[in-house]
């Protein structure tokens, strides 16, 4: 727990800076996100060094699993967005607000950052470090639930219902993948591909 608390505090701080209405306009979102994921990745790799062989075990099948998972998650969000637009009159506006950060950097830079760094780094920290350590402390299922709850809550600073629900679904999805495959690799592939596709290549707005 001594390893986890400072890292989770840092995550809450970074996500507050990126998403809160009091701070988000003061900084470039992508610069803060890159700094946040770099800090949290270094933190988790150093303090989680004893678990690296377990967390990063690799099988060739994980590549296909990650690709299929990314496609499945994208389709889930595409359908979910259509349903949300029918149910909630605020849905479209909130989703557009999520995409508003695209004006702060070029499409190429955003796409490459999401695919090569941000997506993988989030999995390294949230699943490979936080879920791994909560799982060791409380059991794998409870660790999965606790990590998903925290991953969802750090997005609460946005006060954006659609973003918070998206974080919940993604947390459940990638958390289950880590629980199922006992490796962060499938989640890294899925997260990297999904980020780049849904935000740059085929946005759902």
> Quick check: 47 and 7 in contact, CB under 8 A?
yes
Q: What pLDDT is stored for residue 135 in this prediction?
A: 94
Q: What pLDDT is stored for residue 1 in this prediction?
A: 74
Q: What pLDDT is stored for residue 5 in this prediction?
A: 93
Q: What are the CB-based long-range contacts (under 8 Å, 24+) for 9-14?
A: 10/36, 10/39, 10/40, 10/43, 11/36, 11/40, 11/125, 11/150, 11/154, 12/153, 12/154, 14/39, 14/40
Q: What pLDDT is stored for residue 105 in this prediction?
A: 92
Q: What are the CB-based long-range contacts (under 8 Å, 24+) for 137-143?
A: 137/1, 140/179, 141/179
pLDDT in tens, the chain (205 residues): 788 999 999 999 999 999 999 999 999 999 999 999 999 999 999 998 888 888 999 999 999 999 999 999 999 999 999 999 999 899 999 999 999 999 999 999 999 999 999 999 999 999 999 999 999 999 999 999 999 999 999 999 999 999 999 999 999 999 999 999 999 999 999 999 999 999 999 998 7
All structural domains of the chain with their residue ranges: 4-201
Distance CA 65, CA 10 (A): 31
**C-alpha neighbours within 13 Å on the C-beta side of residue 56:** 13
Q: Cα–Cα distances in Å, from 164 out to 3, 94, 108, 153, 205? A: 26, 11, 26, 8, 17
């Amino acid at each position: 727990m001594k390893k986890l608390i400072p890292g989770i505090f840092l995550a809450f701080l970074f996500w507050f800076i990126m998403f809160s209405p009091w701070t988000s306009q003061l900084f470039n979102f992508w610069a803060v996100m890159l700094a946040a994921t770099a800090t949290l990745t270094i933190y988790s790799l150093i303090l989680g060094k004893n678990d690296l062989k377990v967390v990063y075990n690799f099988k060739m099948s994980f590549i296909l699993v990650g690709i299929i998972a990314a496609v499945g998650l994208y389709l889930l969000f595409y359908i979910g967005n259509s349903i949300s637009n029918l149910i909630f009159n605020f849905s479209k506006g909130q989703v557009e607000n999520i995409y508003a950060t695209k004006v702060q950097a070029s499409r190429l830079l955003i796409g490459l950052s999401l695919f090569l760094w941000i997506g993988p780094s989030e999995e390294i920290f949230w699943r490979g470090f936080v879920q791994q350590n909560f799982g060791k402390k409380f059991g794998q299922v409870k660790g999965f639930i606790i990590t998903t709850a925290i991953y969802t809550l750090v997005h609460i600073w946005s006060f954006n219902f659609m973003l918070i629900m998206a974080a919940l679904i993604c947390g459940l999805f990638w958390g289950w993948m880590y629980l199922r495959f006992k490796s962060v690799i499938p989640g890294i592939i899925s997260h990297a591909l999904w980020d780049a596709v849904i935000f740059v290549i085929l946005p759902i707005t």
